[in-house]
Structure 1
Amino acid sequence: MHIADTETVSGKRVASSAAAVANEFLALGRLEPSAPPIDQMKLQKLLFYAHAWHLALHDQALFEEDFEAWPWGPVVRDIYSQTRKYGKNPVSEELMELQRTGDNVLDYTFVIPHIDVRETKEFIRQIWDVHKSYSGVQLSNSTHAPGEPWTIIRDRYGNLDGKPMIPNKLIEDIFRKKIENAEQSHKAAI
Structure 2
Amino acid sequence: MNETTDPNSQTLIVVIIAFYWALLGSWSQLLPRSREDTTKRDDMPTEQRTGSRENTSSADTPLDVIREIDPNFDLAAFLAGAKTAYEIVLLAYADGDLQTLKRLVGPEVLDTFEQAIVERRDREEMLQLTFIGTSEAKVVDALEQEGTAEIAVRFVSDLVSVTRAANDAIVAGHPRQIVEVVDTWTFACEIPSTKRNWMLIATEGE
Q: Same fold (TM over 0.5)?
A: no
* TM-score calculated relative to the size of structure 2: 0.23
Structure with bigger helix share is: 1
TM-score with structure 1 length normalisation? 0.25
Point out the structure with the larger strand share.
2
Q: Which fold has the larger relative contact order, with Cα–Cα distance below 8 Å and residues 6 or more apart in sequence?
A: 1
